[in-house]
Structure 1
Amino acid sequence: MKTILLGAAACALTLGAAIAQADPPRPAYGSYGFDTKGMDPSVKPGDDFYLHANGGWAKATPIPPDKSNYGAFNVLDDLSRERTRGILEGAKADRSSRIGLAYASYLDAATVEARGLAPVQPWMARVKAIRDKADYARAAAEAARAGISGPFAFYVGQDDKDPETYTLILRQGGLGLPDRDFYLQQDEKMAAIRTAYLAHLEQMLTLAGESDAKARAAALMAFETDIAKVHWTQVDSRDADKTYNKMTLADLQKSAPGFDFTRYFAANRLNPATLLVSQPSAVTGEAALIANAPLGVLKDALLLRALHAYATYLPDRIADADFAFYGTILSGTPQREERWKRAVGFVKEAMGDEVGKLYVARYFPPETKAAMDRLVKNVIAAMGRRIDGLSWMSDAAKARAHKKLAAFTPKIGYPDKWRDYSGLTVKADDLYGNAQRANAHEFDYQMGKLGKPIYRWEWQMTPMEINAYADFGMVEIVFPAAILQPPFFDPHADPAVNYGGIGAVIGHELSHHFDDQGAKYDETGKLNQWWSDTDVAAFKALTDKLVKQYDAYEPLPGAHVKGAFTLGENIGDLAGVAVALDAYHASLGGKPAPVIDGTTGDQRFFLGWAQVWRRNYREPNLRQRLVTDPHSPSQFRANTVRNFDEWYAAFKPHPGGKIFLAPQDRVKIW
């Protein structure tokens, strides 16, 4: 299992001694690495530290029309895409370059428009030819290989209780909206989205040339609503214990007779002896609904999912209609990205490692990787010290925690081994075909892991990603190259700012392995409770306080953060700041931090933390994130500083401030 730090950063950080120079160049932000012009001094730190640090920036920074939100991560993502564009423009001139051909095929809008819906007609014909439920199961399997979502989702991953083995994992599926809450939550905003979605389904059927679109859209909407009723919640779906359900294929078929799983897997030459079913009651519930559903409704779902999956590779009348709902209605984004940006995204998705090799050679110097190596070691050492200082954890659990800490594999910049795409056929004049073949190539690669040793060299992100993740089964933390830049890491910035930025993010990823789910995995990556019941109870008493704290946050009227859903990420933020602050203090070598422009070292540390979370949201995007994103909105991530005694000492907020907490109410876990 892995936890991805969506929209957060992982960056390299050199030590203070390594940064020091006789006449160092200026940092990218301000005089010491923090954008003081982006502050809002009219907001007191004790009322809202996020706005105190970032309020000026927030007021002065509009969200670009092709984005649903905008902040520090987007700035680097734009830079990464510009750089990748340069690589692909050069590759486009080489007729033997797969990435160049793929990029050229996406840019060729004229050919896409001229071909119309002809590329998707074979799939539409296949769907229309489905004659019974058994053939529907085969078609659903074909959809999975083509990258089209179907009634269920399945993938290959590590067996949580046997992490040296790959297994097939089956999950709930079948929804066209992002989550069950979009169908079931009874409020004005969700009702409006459902109305818009129904109209979208009707429009897409009409654009596909289908008759009786209104009635068919209504029937599909009713079917999906029934599916939503049996789906698990986000909270239950992130529980590693509840989602570990191993069974034989025969047992699965017996428990869910309404869907032909044997035929479903066999259609892709899969015959698993055992598999993991993440949400058993949802799978059996969906199977029963499929058994009773009219065949026409099931066929319409496969047809519409294909148009959604391939919309960006089809004429603008399809792509624009798809974006109007999923981009504008759901996320509030006014317009689609320029074609070259979408082309870059397509190639990264299809052949990320092939682009990544060129990217790191050009933009990721060895010095940055070496600096990150040193920083990660410092943060791991700080985590060890914090474990030793815990009052709530038993000595036996501390000993095992140290074993786990020693087992970590940090991955920095790029993989040691690159993926091979030599079996993928790419044509300059066949965008749809390229996408279809890329999806099939990826599917076959993933399914091909079954029965093989674990690919420990493999990454789940490309080097161009502005992100990071922790993988519980692999006992690793991973930081792609493109994020290791200002404002998250700047070799010319004051170390306090860097520790508050990337240092805290490294701590965040590290601490995921000790959060409410990651802590269930031992030093080998096995789902195996290594804490005593007393340790678990003491930990839960602390995390319950954090859940309550975040439940109280209300970023939109009537829309609250879900403390239980976001718990893992909130623990990560709390622990990341604590560990990074410890590492920063240790880096001073017993000497006091210098005062720079009137700021203390701790002040600069906390300002560095707040700066990486600056982000403006469009309301629909923020509302969707509250339902689907396990990360709290950026404002509340920055304001986790309210739990730190050191923050109170640094900024001296007055009691009674909006985020002021009495000492006994400050949550301290790691």
Structure 2
Amino acid sequence: MKTSWTPIKTAVTLALCGAAFAMAPGFAADQGKEAEAGVAQTRPAAATMLPGDDFFAWANSEWLAKTEIPADRGSWSSMHALAEETNQRIIKLIEAAGADKAASPEQRKVADFYKAYMDEAAIEAAGTAPLKPHLAKIAAIKTRTDLARALGGTLRADVDPLNATNFETENLFGVWINQGLSDPTRNVPWLLQGGLGMPDRAYYLDNNPKMAELRTKYQAHIAAMLKLAGYDKVEERALKIFALESELAQSHASREDSSDIQKANNVWSAKDFAAKAPGMDWKSFLSAAGLGKQDRFMVYHPTALAGAARQVMATDISTWKDYLAFHLVNQFAGSLPKAFADQRFAFYGTALAGTPQQSLRWKRALAATNGAMDDAVGKLYVQKYFPAENKARIQQMVVNIKAAFERRIDKLDWMAPATRAHAKEKVRTMYVGIGYPDKFKSYEGLKVSPTDAFGNVVRAQEYHYAQQLAKLNAKPERTEWCMPPQLINAVNLPMQNALNFPAAILQPPFFDPQGSDAVNYGAIGSVIGHEISHSFDDLGAQFDAQGRLRDWWTKEDLAHFKAASQKLVEQYAAYKPFDDLALNGQLTLSENLSDLAGLAAAYDAYKVGMGAKAGADADRDFFTGYGRAWRTKMREATLRRVVLTDGHAPAQYRTYTVRNLDAWYEAFDVKPGQKLYLAPQERVRVW
């Protein structure tokens, strides 16, 4: 799971995260560009529905029948509900810190940031004044070298290349600071494609009526934002900006290509940029980005860098200046007067996601606060809501599921001894963080004002980027977290051989301290197994125990793995949420593999842990716990966007993972003729 938390992608947006469990807006994120939880169409199950016909609808029939998607959401799920409850708790903690004269300086900063964002009267009174110094710098651009400096100055560490749901950033490129693919001892800057105001290249290039309609609405949105910022001839400017973004989109890699880590293994020296991507003054660009002293770069999307450099030379400077002005206003709309935030929501919320109503101000303020000072907020949360006994119980579940996974590896008759030995080493040496990091981030140098919402957001963004750049002078840390404790999510970090399970997901319905082992193993146990399994999915299997991109499989083992994986691609490609839109089995393969292997390992661990108590009733509880964790509804516009761009399959189809496990058939007496039935030889078995 992973998400971009704030409307402007400020401060922290999960750089350093890898393959994640699901898309959950743990912080009430912007409706339209936030990653979503699993997906399901709105359809309650009939009272007579059998588990073998639609396990998702059977397990969640009551919830589906009584649940409506809130007006300010594109979707609603168990994860959204949990995030809502968690957010309510956090707000009380922040407000208490603001009223506490004995609050620490860090807690005071959290309270002040939230207070400033909530002060709508002050934001309205300031108007566009906070924008003017930034727009003046853009207006001062005269030459291509000036343009290169300005573009370089927009870079922020706000993308994660190892998560297929977050390849894009509104800035021309994204930066990720992490170890190189072949050298785990050194951090290097990664450069990734960006520069688009819509979620993906497909929104610019696909030739269908729905995309064409969105393109028209996006151009109108560009014009409206520029008009609010005081520009004239906004329709003409918007047309040129859209044309520029369309050219950028032409050179962008597809989601499928971005998911192929081998295509990202492009090491460039500082001198290579001019030769491989001519048109940009790269020396000025990299210097402005704080990367001028770097001698080695990982270029994740070389075609996008080359395409952008071409446009720097080919597109007139006035259009680039309008482009920079629009994206500045668009990204910071949440901390500007209401008209800006409303216009942004009209496009990203309503047009893109089908969400009829914008989130309440406090939710947006909390999202921004989490984005700016995530660990500081997380400290408040865990001190109050994550007791040590919960952590200890989860840690024991991790031990049991890791052992189960090792046993499954031992039973693979197709795997060569050398491959098996290294696979088990990966499991044994895996760092598993539970609840919160060993070391929280510091915000000592961040200036926060209780009266300057816009300035706080800008300073937080710059502060986070400086923190990320500082890592270039330090060695990689396996125990570094990429998620804060209050996020409803979990993640596998293949380059660290590590897992993170934030405290906020370790509560019902995923983990119930008062619940049975059967239900808990089906719910949070499958999440734990899912994240362990990501170390052996189509992406994770390419990294060794030290996080190095290395071929540690025999040719025969790899061939078997790919053949088994292809069956899962075909299984998911057969699912069609709409008559004109099927799932992309290749795009969702990593997550589907991990769902399958994780559920199987969790089942094995539960059976061993419960022993004789793990009878037929407990088996049904296990699978029902899994199915109920995925309950979700989604609006059509949001569902279509997620199917096109999300690396996770929609929720109901993730629930259908059960049809590949023999034990599910036995637990629910699933017979031939029922819709989900697969003959034994058709059930996908990888791990």
Q: Shorter chain as normaliser: what TM range?
A: over 0.9
Change (3 A) 1:637 1:145: closer
State the 1:451 CA deviation.
Answer: 2.2
Residue in structure 1 matched with residue 204 of structure 2 by the alignment: 183
Residue in structure 1 matched with residue 519 of structure 2 by the alignment: 497
Residue in structure 2 matched with residue 231 of structure 1 by the alignment: 252
Residue in structure 2 matched with residue 243 of structure 1 by the alignment: 264
2:628 to 591, 598, 611: 611
Distance 1:213 1:192 in 2: 19
Distance 1:301 1:668 in 2: 49
Read off the aligned partner of 1:178 and give its amino acid letter.
P
User: Quick check: 1:9–1:468 contact (8 Å CA) kept in 2?
Assistant: no
Distance 2:295 2:287 in 1: 12
1:73-98 deviations in Å (ceiling 9; x for gaps): 01110111111101110122257511
Residue in structure 2 matched with residue 49 of structure 1 by the alignment: 55
Residue in structure 2 matched with residue 23 of structure 1 by the alignment: none
Distance 1:49 1:5 in 2: 20
Residue in structure 2 matched with residue 115 of structure 1 by the alignment: 126
1:389-428 equivalences in 2 (<5 Å): 389-428=411-450
1:167 to 188, 195, 203: 188
Q: Look up the SS of the partner of 1:219 in the other structure.
A: helix
Distance 1:146 1:560 in 2: 33
1:585-664 equivalences in 2 (<5 Å): 585-589=607-611, 591-594=612-615, 600-664=617-681
Distance 2:605 2:157 in 1: 47
Residue in structure 2 matched with residue 381 of structure 1 by the alignment: 403
Residue in structure 2 matched with residue 89 of structure 1 by the alignment: 95
Q: Look up the SS of the partner of 1:4 in the other structure.
A: coil
1:489-548 deviations in Å (ceiling 9; x for gaps): 112222111111000110000000000010000011111110011111110000000001
2:584 equivalent to 1:562: yes
Change (3 A) 1:296 1:49: same
Change (3 A) 1:149 1:7: closer
Residue in structure 1 matched with residue 164 of structure 2 by the alignment: none
User: Quick check: 1:9–1:483 contact (8 Å CA) kept in 2?
Assistant: no
Residue in structure 1 matched with residue 82 of structure 2 by the alignment: 76
Residue in structure 2 matched with residue 26 of structure 1 by the alignment: none
User: Quick check: 1:9–1:488 contact (8 Å CA) kept in 2?
Assistant: no
Q: Look up the SS of the partner of 1:459 in the other structure.
A: coil
Distance 2:478 2:679 in 1: 46
1:91-170 equivalences in 2 (<5 Å): 91-94=97-100, 97-144=108-155, 149-170=170-191
Residue in structure 1 matched with residue 214 of structure 2 by the alignment: 193
Read off the aligned partner of 2:581 and give its amino acid letter.
A
Change (3 A) 1:581 1:8: farther
Q: Name which of structure 1's ranges 622-631 and 260-269 shifts more when overlaid on structure 2.
A: 260-269
Residue in structure 1 matched with residue 67 of structure 2 by the alignment: 61
State the 1:594 CA deviation.
Answer: 5.0
Distance 2:673 2:514 in 1: 38
Q: Name which of structure 1's ranges 227-236 and 453-462 shifts more when overlaid on structure 2.
A: 453-462
Residue in structure 1 matched with residue 500 of structure 2 by the alignment: 478
2:22 equivalent to 1:6: yes
User: Quick check: 2:433–2:499 contact (8 Å CA) kept in 1?
Assistant: yes
Distance 2:255 2:626 in 1: 28
Residue in structure 1 matched with residue 6 of structure 2 by the alignment: none
Change (3 A) 1:455 1:402: closer
User: Quick check: 1:392–1:539 contact (8 Å CA) kept in 2?
Assistant: no
User: Quick check: 2:487–2:504 contact (8 Å CA) kept in 1?
Assistant: yes
Distance 2:385 2:519 in 1: 23
Read off the aligned partner of 2:134 and give its amino acid letter.
W
Q: Look up the SS of the partner of 1:356 in the other structure.
A: helix
Q: Look up the SS of the partner of 2:76 in the other structure.
A: strand
Q: Look up the SS of the partner of 1:162 in the other structure.
A: coil
Q: Look up the SS of the partner of 2:185 in the other structure.
A: strand
Distance 2:577 2:407 in 1: 36
State the 1:228 CA deviation.
Answer: 1.2
Distance 1:239 1:145 in 2: 23
**Cα RMSD, aligned residues only:** 1.7
Q: Look up the SS of the partner of 1:489 in the other structure.
A: coil
State the 1:653 CA deviation.
Answer: 2.1
User: Quick check: 2:479–2:498 contact (8 Å CA) kept in 1?
Assistant: no
Residue in structure 2 matched with residue 509 of structure 1 by the alignment: 531
Change (3 A) 1:502 1:432: same
State the 1:654 CA deviation.
Answer: 2.8
Distance 2:112 2:477 in 1: 29
Change (3 A) 1:153 1:434: same
User: Quick check: 1:92–1:103 contact (8 Å CA) kept in 2?
Assistant: no
Q: Look up the SS of the partner of 1:588 in the other structure.
A: helix
Q: TM-score w.r.t. structure 1 length?
A: 0.93
Read off the aligned partner of 2:145 and give its amino acid letter.
A
Read off the aligned partner of 2:91 and give its amino acid letter.
R
Q: Look up the SS of the partner of 1:449 in the other structure.
A: helix
User: Quick check: 2:478–2:497 contact (8 Å CA) kept in 1?
Assistant: no
Distance 1:40 1:261 in 2: 62
2:312 to 275, 290, 313: 290
Q: Look up the SS of the partner of 1:513 in the other structure.
A: helix
Distance 1:39 1:189 in 2: 30
User: Quick check: 1:456–1:474 contact (8 Å CA) kept in 2?
Assistant: yes
Mark the runs of 5 or more structure 2 residues left unpaired by the alignment: 1-16, 27-43, 159-168
Change (3 A) 1:40 1:609: farther
Change (3 A) 1:151 1:206: same
State the 1:626 CA deviation.
Answer: 1.0
Amino-acid identity (%)? 42
1:206-285 equivalences in 2 (<5 Å): 206-270=227-291, 271-285=293-307
Distance 1:577 1:653 in 2: 18
Distance 1:227 1:141 in 2: 16
User: Quick check: 2:478–2:498 contact (8 Å CA) kept in 1?
Assistant: no
Distance 1:476 1:575 in 2: 17
Distance 2:579 2:129 in 1: 47
State the 1:186 CA deviation.
Answer: 1.4
Residue in structure 2 matched with residue 519 of structure 1 by the alignment: 541
Q: Name which of structure 1's ranges 651-660 and 392-401 shifts more when overlaid on structure 2.
A: 651-660
1:350-370 deviations in Å (ceiling 9; x for gaps): 111112112111110000000
1:300-379 equivalences in 2 (<5 Å): 300-379=322-401
1:535-574 equivalences in 2 (<5 Å): 535-574=557-596
Aligned pairs, number = 638
Distance 1:502 1:102 in 2: 33
1:252-288 deviations in Å (ceiling 9; x for gaps): 2211111122211111332210100001122112211
Read off the aligned partner of 1:206 and give its amino acid letter.
K
Distance 1:58 1:352 in 2: 33
Read off the aligned partner of 1:515 and give its amino acid letter.
D
Distance 1:621 1:637 in 2: 17
Distance 2:195 2:366 in 1: 29
Q: Look up the SS of the partner of 1:3 in the other structure.
A: coil
1:331-384 deviations in Å (ceiling 9; x for gaps): 111111111111111111111111211211111000000001100000000000
Distance 2:22 2:93 in 1: 25
Q: Look up the SS of the partner of 2:536 in the other structure.
A: coil
State the 1:602 CA deviation.
Answer: 1.4
Q: Look up the SS of the partner of 1:630 in the other structure.
A: coil
